[in-house]
Amino acid sequence: MPIRQLSAGTVNRIAAGEVIERPASVVKELVENALDAGAAEVEVVTAAGGLSLIRVGDDGCGMSPADLALAVERHATSKLGDEDLFNIATLGFRGEALPSIGAIARLSIKSRQRDAAAAAHEIVVDRGVKQAVRPAALNVGTCVEVCELFSATPARLKFLKSERAENMAISEVVKRLAMAHPTVGFTLTTGERAGLKLMRQPLGPDGQLARLGRIMGREFLDDALGVDIEREGVRVAGFAGLPTLHRPDPGQQYLFVNGRPVKDKLLIGAVRAAYGDLLPKARYPLLALFVTLSPREVDVNVHPSKAEVRFRDAGRVRSLVAGALRQALEAAGHRASATGGVGAIATLARGGGTSAPASSSFAPRPASGFPRGSPLPRGFGEAMQAPLEGLAGPSADARAAAEPAAADLLDRPLGAARAQLHETYIVAQTRGSVVIVDQHAAHERLVYERLKAALADGGVARQGLLIPQIVELDGDEAAALAEAAPQLQSLGLVIEAFGAGAVMVREVPALLGETDINGLVRDLAREAMSEAGGSLLEERLAAVCSTMACHGSVRAGRRLTAEEMNALLRDMEATPHSGQCNHGRPTYVELQLADIERLFGRR
């Protein structure tokens, strides 16, 4: 076959194949255009998952009739004045979206410039056929309507998901762009029950957080740590969720580069490194981070729908993002997810057996005390007895816990230890709250942080075993573990191969105290097997620390003295990240006195 130049229509349809993957891609391109036009309000309406209709209206700068005619031409753009691909300050720059959409659907653009004298005009491109510009009626701005999407390329229709899924993708696109532009108002109507209405927010971090809260939820709002660092012209700002707030998928990790939502492996890796050991395996934090840097430092022209970027100095950006997050998380100290305490109160209010619902302030007060002779609500007696048992125990120290603690302990963030319940939970009192600590989870985190600090400090103190202990394993496990021996040694665990299916343990980290060496070595072996050659050394060490900490910590079920309890609380206050255990669960919950009072109808 001879070579021939493809027709403009075919070329546009080919381009459309890249740029317009699904209805949400059209929404993305049109909303980006509205934002580039300086809109203060953007309105999106779709029908049938975007297939029968997508309409995007804005109050931006608008277009003249001549611009309208040009806008739908291929490679026509107002955004690359200097044709410098390394100086892009707009979301669009390729001049491909409108001609691509016009090639595969019926496209109508109505527009009117801000200038008072200007009149509105419309242009229509119907499946590649461009009509003449004609007068139309419209207020200031631009209104783009796309009907019968993919009717010119019906094969594409087969690849689409359900209407519901397409609606969700559309909503996601609008949300992402809205997060990066909090001063712009957005509405989205897709025909699904809940549309989206986002008011304009003031410029600045408060406005930004308010916008993020509307999109990511109230929980995020409560648990968001502010991030804002600038170094050598790169700024990393935004909000990061506490590690106790996590999800099974990374869908709530929102990353932006120069106002552009991106899915960037490098940035995702930086987030993973920063949260690394604070989260359980395969759980993801919630965050919205905005990286801003000179357009010269980042190439946005690497992906047709501009979802990926390339940094000139990737290492620097990565370490700045990881560092900024780490710093914010460290500053949060022992603070655990606020939702723990609030959730606990809500649960109590729902199923407490006494009468008061959460909103009891308007309900009649329950009669004080239980009617004489009536049985106590189930579970109540048990809860009452537990502390008494603890206090009547053999230890005088435990009794001391009931004595009013020195006043200054009440002023500490985690308060004064008052009792131990079920040999598992420490109950402490502050001036305005009751704090309940999971002793195992908390101690595990402390041991872990100490191990890591010692490691960074040049090595973990070891303690020799009087009699070396042999641990039987299967052959592969033993081999994998023996291979990891040098790493383990830096962490204070000295082992050597002992025949084919066993290892000999000579020394253990002094920090761990008395430990079930068998259990520890077995867990480590299993880990060594599954991670063999896999993750980074850093992550593997963290995993080993975590396993060791789990074995070295005060197990649930051990009775603690008052001193031990208070020492644990003070340690938690002084240790970064002690608000959650190595598996990402909170180590304590704090119940505000005011909430408890409300629970009992006292407020």
Shortest Cβ 91–ligand ADP spacing (Å) = 7
Angle in degrees, CA 165, 166, 172, rounded to 5: 90
Q: Which does 63 bind (CB under 5 to 8 A by kind): ligand ADP, Mg ion, none?
A: ligand ADP
Residue 484 and residue 66: Cα distance in Å, rounded? 70
Among 16, 23, 29, 495, binds ligand ADP (CB under 6 A): 29
Q: Does 104 bind ligand ADP (CB under 6 A)?
A: no
Closest to ligand ADP by CB, 89 or 461:
89
DSSP letter assigned to residue 580:
B
Q: Does 95 bind ligand ADP (CB under 6 A)?
A: yes
Q: Which does 435 bind (CB under 5 to 8 A by kind): ligand ADP, Mg ion, none?
A: none
Q: Does 26 bind ligand ADP (CB under 6 A)?
A: no
Residue 439 and residue 436: Cα distance in Å, rounded? 9
3-state secondary structure 297-309: HEECCCCCCCCCC
Closest to ligand ADP by CB, 141 or 387:
141
Assigned token pair, 152: 């010119």
Q: Which does 93 bind (CB under 5 to 8 A by kind): Mg ion, ligand ADP, none?
A: ligand ADP
Shortest Cβ 83–Mg ion spacing (Å) = 16
From 41-49, 54-62, 158-166, 176-184, span contacting ligand ADP (CB under 6 A): 54-62
Which among 39, 82, 90 is positioned nearest to 63, based on CA atoms?
A: 39
Cβ pair 429, 416 in contact under 8 A: yes
Q: Which does 78 bind (CB under 5 to 8 A by kind): Mg ion, ligand ADP, none?
A: ligand ADP
Residue 394 and residue 409: Cα distance in Å, rounded? 25
Q: Does 92 bind ligand ADP (CB under 6 A)?
A: yes
Residue 258 and residue 28: Cα distance in Å, rounded? 16
Closest to ligand ADP by CB, 15 or 271:
15
Closest to ligand ADP by CB, 90 or 339:
90
Name which of residues 141 to 180 contact ligand ADP (CB under 6 A).
Answer: 142
Closest to ligand ADP by CB, 77 or 439:
77
Amino acid, single-letter form, for residue 103: A
Residue 160 and residue 21: Cα distance in Å, rounded? 9
Cβ pair 234, 291 in contact under 8 A: yes
Shortest Cβ 78–ligand ADP spacing (Å) = 3
- Number of CB atoms found within 10 A of residue 432's CB: 11
Q: Which does 238 bind (CB under 5 to 8 A by kind): Mg ion, ligand ADP, none?
A: none
Residue 329 and residue 337: Cα distance in Å, rounded? 12
Residue 127 and residue 146: Cα distance in Å, rounded? 11
Amino acid, single-letter form, for residue 263: K
Name which of residues 33 to 52 contact ligand ADP (CB under 6 A).
Answer: 33-34, 37
Q: Does 97 bind ligand ADP (CB under 6 A)?
A: yes
Please classify residue 99 by burial: count the beta carbons closer than 10 Å to its beta carbon, then call 0-12 exposed, 13-18 middle and 19+ buried. buried
Residue 197 and residue 176: Cα distance in Å, rounded? 14
Q: Does 524 bind ligand ADP (CB under 6 A)?
A: no
Q: Does 63 bind ligand ADP (CB under 6 A)?
A: yes
Among 79, 235, 462, 559, binds ligand ADP (CB under 6 A): 79
Shortest Cβ 259–ligand ADP spacing (Å) = 14
User: Which residues contact Mg ion by CB under 5 A?
Assistant: 33, 92, 97
DSSP letter assigned to residue 567:
H
Cβ pair 62, 37 in contact under 8 A: yes
Q: Does 57 bind ligand ADP (CB under 6 A)?
A: no
Sheet holding 433-438, edge to edge: 416-421, 425-429, 433-438, 588-592
CA 34 vs. chain centroid, Å, equals 28
Query: Measured on CA atoms in the order 488, 489, 491, 494, is the torsion positive or negative?
Result: positive
State the binding string over 212-231 for ligand ADP (x if CB under 6 A, else -).
--------------------
Closest to Mg ion by CB, 109 or 336:
109
Amino acid, single-letter form, for residue 481: L
- Number of CB atoms found within 10 A of residue 152's CB: 19
Q: Does 559 bind ligand ADP (CB under 6 A)?
A: no
Among 19, 98, 491, 569, binds ligand ADP (CB under 6 A): 98
State the binding string over 109-148 for ligand ADP (x if CB under 6 A, else -).
---------------------------------x------
Question: Which residue's Cβ lies closest to Mg ion?
Answer: 92
Provide the β-strand partners of residue 257: 260, 291
From 91-99, 252-260, 268-276, 592-600, span contacting ligand ADP (CB under 6 A): 91-99
Among 43, 58, 264, 571, binds ligand ADP (CB under 6 A): 58
Residues in touch with ligand ADP (CB under 6 A):
29, 33-34, 37, 58, 60-63, 71, 76-79, 92-98, 142
